[in-house]
């Protein structure tokens, strides 16, 4: 269930609401125009904002600080904070309630009902009622262009952006921290001499920010924002090849001891997006750089370019799942099952895994205002816990970041988050090399799946910098 409300529209609406975030509860085109379903999903949810869309492209609706409650059918609810609004253009317009006693009406046959002035849905149909002057004064032409052809209706729960008394992770936001992290990456060396660089595979849905993550890391070590990997907003994956990106320590510097491997975006539909069997071939080192994916036909062992002879340095040493924080709660069951199937296969290969949460600034207004509040954000912590529960990974395996998407200059706080994630990846790769090293001591060297019993049960601790070396 993807929201119709765009990020810009949400930001505009939030300027009328204060420091809050919106969580989608109900979408008519998804849940049907059913008043029963509306009340089942939206009753007793506290403050909500209801958004209507019409055939001429107008976006409008109303806010109430009170609960919707079908048990109060036929009754008006007093709400002196209620208002109607329009979001057309860059300047949202607010129409405050003029009679708070009759601000909102509860009806079992309608959707959101604002004091006889605006009703979204009626009798289980896409019906829009608009009566200016009935407890709200507004210009109908300005609000919805006098177009009563409702094309959709959404209801969002309005959640306050409150912060924790103590951060759930401690990171000093200092230039010294940034330098320390950069040095940790530059000086890293795999414990197995036959491997020069740790290879990390980025896996995630379309638009989650895999390519942007590499671009952001590359920007840090280049000293300015740059974009080497193709990235952007699209309904389909912009990455169509398997790409291995080696980051250099400066424009003319040496390659860093880490390679970030990018893939097509995952999709829940069969025959679309990245194929699970292709992922396994990548993990085992069989897929060459720039291999062109074919979602309908996985790479076969007899295909051109298939790497038959594989060395440890060709394999993947750590897997990072990249997820959009804003979409964690609306992740479909099918997609969750697909990720679960991939995780099981990765576990069988003994490869450590972590999760990178992107777009934290879009998910939480507090973080948007100040990225340093990321570990004080109750919401971001809740999203990390939700991912932990849905994917079966410890919270210590989850690292939130903000990629560079709109900025033209580097930001020290963003750099620290991104570098912290990179150092965690190197720590996890070290665990993989330790397992291989232990295997070499007791068995003949075989570059193949580690025995399932050797899969890491305890991941490295989350990165916390307190004046000590960030990587040991």
Facing residues of 149 across strands? Answer: 127
Say how far apart CA 23 and CA 163 lie, in whole Å: 17
- Round the average pLDDT of the chain to a whole number and report it: 86
**249 CA to centre of own chain:** 28
pLDDT interval class at 162 (50, 70, 90): confident
- On whether the CB atoms of residues 120 and 150 are closer than 8 A, the answer is yes
Q: How far apart are CA 56 and CA 44, in angstroms?
A: 32
Fold (CATH) for 175-454: Rossmann fold (3.40.50)
For 366-416, the pLDDT digits (tens) are 898 889 999 999 999 999 999 999 999 999 999 999 999 888 899 999 999
Is residue 92 within 8 A of residue 86, CB to CB? The reply is yes
Residue 163: phi, psi to the nearest 5? -115, 160
Tell me what percent of the residues of the chain surpass a pLDDT of 70. Answer: 86
- In which band, very low, low, confident or very high, does the pLDDT at 468 lie, cut at 50, 70 and 90? very low
Q: Could you report the per-residue pLDDT of 72-114, keeping only the tens digit for each?
A: 999 999 999 999 999 987 689 999 999 999 999 999 999 999 9
Q: CA 400, 404, 409: angle at the middle one, nearest 5?
A: 130
CA dist., res. 259 & res. 219, Å (int) = 15
Nearest to 35 by CA among 107, 106, 104, 111: 111
Strand-by-strand arrangement of the 150-160 sheet: 20-27, 150-160, 48-54, 59-64, 83-86, 93-96
237: which 2 tokens?
Answer: 């994956």
C-alpha gyration radius of the chain? 25
- Strand partners for 158: 22
Q: What is the pLDDT, as a whole number, of residue 290?
A: 80
Instruction: Please choose, from the candidates 420, 438, 436, the residue with its C-alpha nearest in 3D space to the C-alpha of residue 182.
Output: 420
Say how far apart CA 19 and CA 258 lie, in whole Å.
39
| Cα–Cα dist 211/183, whole Å | 23
Structure tokens at 174: 């200092």
Tokens of 150: 């409702």
Mean pLDDT computed over 254-267: 88
Q: Write down the domain spans for the chain.
A: 7-160, 175-454
pLDDT of residue 464: 56
Please give the Cα distance from 49 to 293 (Å, whole number). 43
Residue 144's region, left for phi above 0, alpha for psi from -120 to 50, else beta, is alpha
pLDDT tens-place string over residues 225-244: 987 765 544 444 455 678 88
Ranges 92-96, 163-167, 255-259, 296-300: which has the least confidence: 296-300
């Amino acid at each position: 269930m993807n929201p119709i409300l765009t990020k810009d529209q949400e930001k505009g609406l939030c300027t009328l609401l204060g420091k809050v975030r919106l969580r989608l509860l109900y979408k008519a085109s998804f849940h049907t125009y059913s008043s029963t379903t509306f009340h089942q999903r939206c009753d007793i949810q506290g403050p909500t904002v209801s958004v209507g869309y019409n055939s001429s492209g107008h976006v409008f609706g109303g806010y109430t600080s009170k609960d919707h409650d079908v048990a109060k059918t036929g009754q008006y609810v007093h709400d002196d904070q209620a208002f109607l609004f329009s979001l057309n253009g860059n300047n949202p317009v607010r129409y405050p309630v003029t009679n708070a006693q009759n601000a909102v009406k509860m009806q079992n046959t309608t959707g959101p009902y604002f004091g006889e002035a605006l009703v979204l849905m009626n009798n289980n149909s896409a019906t829009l009622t608009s009566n200016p002057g009935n407890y709200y004064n507004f210009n109908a032409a300005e609000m919805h262009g006098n177009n009563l052809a409702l094309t959709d209706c959404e209801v969002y729960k309005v959640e306050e952006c409150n912060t924790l008394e103590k951060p759930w992770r401690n990171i000093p936001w200092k230039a010294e921290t940034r330098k320390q992290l950069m040095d940790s990456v530059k000086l890293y060396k795999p414990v197995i001499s036959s491997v020069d660089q740790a290879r990390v595979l980025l896996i995630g849905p379309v638009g989650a920010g895999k390519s942007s993550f590499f671009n952001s890391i590359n920007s840090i070590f280049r000293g300015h924002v740059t974009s080497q990997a193709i990235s952007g907003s699209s309904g389909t994956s912009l990455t169509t090849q398997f790409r291995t990106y080696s980051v250099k320590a400066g424009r003319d510097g040496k390659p860093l001891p880490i390679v970030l491997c990018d893939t097509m975006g995952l999709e829940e539909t069969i025959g679309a997006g990245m194929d699970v069997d292709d992922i396994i071939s990548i993990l085992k080192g069989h897929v060459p750089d720039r291999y062109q994916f074919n979602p309908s036909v996985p790479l076969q062992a007899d295909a051109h370019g298939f790497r038959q002879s594989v060395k440890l340095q060709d394999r993947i040493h750590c897997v990072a799942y990249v997820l959009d924080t804003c979409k964690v709660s609306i992740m479909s069951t099918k997609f969750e099952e697909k990720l679960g199937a991939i995780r099981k296969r990765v576990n069988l290969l003994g490869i450590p895994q972590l999760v990178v949460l992107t777009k934290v600034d879009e998910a939480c207004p507090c973080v948007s205002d100040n990225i340093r509040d990321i570990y004080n954000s109750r919401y971001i912590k809740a999203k990390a816990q939700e991912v932990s529960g849905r994917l079966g990974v410890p919270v210590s395996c989850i690292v939130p970041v903000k990629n560079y998407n709109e900025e033209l200059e580097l930001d020290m706080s963003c750099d620290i988050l991104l570098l912290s994630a990179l150092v965690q990846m190197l720590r996890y790769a070290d665990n993989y090399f330790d397992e291989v090293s232990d295997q070499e001591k007791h068995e003949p060297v075989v570059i193949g799946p580690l025995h399932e019993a050797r899969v890491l049960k305890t991941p490295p601790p989350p990165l916390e910098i307190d004046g000590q070396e960030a990587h040991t």
